[in-house]
Amino acid sequence: IMNDNLFSDYCCILILDPFTTKLLSSCCKMSDLMSEKITIVEDLFKSREPVLEMKSIYFMTPTAKCVDAFIKDFKPKPKYKAAYVYFTDYCPDDLFNKMRQACGKHIRVCKEINISFMPQEAQVFTCDNPGAFRSIYSPKSQDKTKTLETLAGQLVTLCATLDEYPGIRYKKGFDPVTPILHELTYQAMAYDLIDIENDTYKYKARDGLEKQALLNEDDMLWVKLRHQHIAEVSKTIHLQLAEDCMKHFANNVEKLCKAEQDLAVGADVDGLKVKDPMRTLLPVLLNPYSKHDKIRAVLLYIFSLNGTTEENLNKLIEHVKIEGEPEYIQNWKELGVPIIITPSFFSRKPNRRERSQEERYSLSRWIPTIKDVMEDVVENKLDTKEWPHQSECPAAWNGSGAVSARQKHRASTQDDRRTGSRLIIFVIGGISFSEMRCAYEVTRAMKTCEVIIGSSHILTPTVLLDDIKALSKGPMESFTLEVETKA
């Protein structure tokens, strides 16, 4: 936007919608904007006073709601000297024509800049669309096709930004185990056990005052520690967040983790096969764990058996005391995960890589399935029947240097331009922090390939369970209630 060199002699107003506000916040600071002579940043959907002597830059998504709000700023009377409009991606002809006819004389520039994704971390992006889960998997969804098209459009802008024209391979499937396990690596554990909103951790300092820490790429210590096991973090440095995680762990998570790992892996810490998963599950059900923790354990039990009988399922629902909300468990069938077995049912568990030599902690034996996929792709071992080519695959990846979409303020090992290939993994319906970690681990191990992972949004176990439960609900109308208060 700034490269257009149209604003060098004037101070400007930047007007953003909610998506572009988050996008810009992930890439730059207010001081960066001010250095480009942007002195005011405004919300597209809020009432604003006219500033006729200033030019306005509109950075927005190409939706009817945004275009209508833009037109309102210039009709019947303009609020600004001129408008420079930048869309995150392709603007449909009908919206473009509507805008041109209504206030075309006020528009100096109108461009599509192809950046309709959210750079979450150095190797992680999202489409900032948590609602995609319900739209895609709910049997009552009325907008599945539209949602998939929107996500595809956002992926196109990612490829354009990275200057990639990739071969595409696709598989319909879902790893149900990883997102509901209690993870003991720092980032995954913190977001599971601690109330962290918008990447902000709030805590009370020793003086009793409430403080907050932003967990993002600017915090170099967080970036260094986030993928380490909590045991290593606790030894390395004294941190309030790590202490909070350990308190939860000591209270109840430690005993849960052993049962969960045995059910997920199908073997105990000595490698002996779990012959009777119910014996592993029963102590969890008999202990006073939270409802969500028991649901997670029950699901791992069912996944370990590839489904259970309806009679047994009803008993489990009774044990967890969720008779009034069995959807927490039953709705997994909408994702293609077997919950109730039938006489004609057959399901083969995917072959997993042998990783016993990699195990360092007995309570962290499970490895996300997606790590196998990443390594198989890089080593050219991915099954072409399970992962067919959806487009022509390049004979070799283009080897362009990997550039993060997030602005970096200092050099690091991740900033170095890579001379190898780039693998982009996209998971429809959400990714967990454990799966995000795998992208970094495989990149470090393979060295010749940078792995970037993305999804519609990021999942925590609680968010996923609540989303699963909500799949039975019909579409709900959303509305915004604005309340103005007078000082």
Find the mean pLDDT for residues 149-174: 89
Structure tokens at 397: 């990846």
DSSP E strands, 61-106: 80-87
Alpha helices in 206-290 (DSSP H): 220-225, 230-236, 240-248, 254-265, 277-286
Residue range 268-312, pLDDT digits in tens: 999 899 999 999 999 999 999 999 999 999 999 999 999 999 999
Q: What pTM was computed for the model?
A: 0.87
- Kindly report which listed range (158-167, 204-213, 454-463) carries the lowest average pLDDT score: 204-213
Structure tokens at 193: 């056990």
Q: What is the pLDDT of residue 395?
A: 55
DSSP E strands, 266-369: none
Residue range 64-116, pLDDT digits in tens: 999 999 999 999 899 999 999 999 999 999 999 999 999 999 999 999 998 99
DSSP E strands, 62-199: 80-87, 107-112, 118-121, 124-126
What DSSP line would sit under 440-486, residue for residue?
HHHHHHHSSEEEEEEESSEE-HHHHHHHHHHTTSPP-----------
Q: What is the pLDDT of residue 250?
A: 85
Using the predicted structure, report yes or no on whether residue 134 has a pLDDT greater than 50. Answer: yes
Q: What is the pLDDT of residue 348?
A: 64
Q: What is the pLDDT of residue 239?
A: 82
Q: What is the pLDDT of residue 368?
A: 95
Using the predicted structure, report yes or no on whether residue 342 has a pLDDT greater than 80. Answer: no
Structure tokens at 433: 């922090």
Percent of the chain with pLDDT over 70: 88
Q: What is the pLDDT of residue 483?
A: 46
Contact between residue 187 and residue 221 where contact means Cβ atoms under 8 Å apart: no
What is the spatial distance between Cα 56 and Cα 34, in angstroms, rounded to a whole number? 14
Q: What is the pLDDT of residue 238?
A: 64
Using the predicted structure, report yes or no on whether residue 343 has a pLDDT greater than 70. Answer: no
Between 26 and 264, the higher pLDDT residue: 264
Using the predicted structure, report yes or no on whether residue 451 has a pLDDT greater than 70. Answer: yes
Q: What rounded mean pLDDT belongs to the chain? A: 87
Find the mean pLDDT for residues 397-419: 39
Total residue count of the chain as it appears in this document: 487
Find the mean pLDDT for residues 8-24: 88
Residue type, 56: S
- The domains of the chain, with CATH numbers, are 2-113 (3.40.50.2060), 119-174+368-470 (3.40.50.1910), 178-335 (1.25.40.60)
Cβ neighbors of 365 (< 8 A, separation 6 or more) are 261, 264, 265, 269, 359
| Range with top average pLDDT, 163-167, 203-207, 273-277, 339-343 | 273-277
Residue range 409-436, pLDDT digits in tens: 333 444 444 457 899 999 999 999 999 9
Q: Which pLDDT band holds residue 5 (cuts at 50, 70, 90)? A: low
- Kindly report which listed range (55-64, 246-255, 352-361, 400-409) carries the lowest average pLDDT score: 400-409
Give CA angle at 247 (243, 250), nearest 5°. 130
Percent of the chain with pLDDT over 90: 67
Q: Which pLDDT band holds residue 146 (cuts at 50, 70, 90)? A: very high
What is the spatial distance between Cα 271 and Cα 279, in angstroms, rounded to a whole number? 17
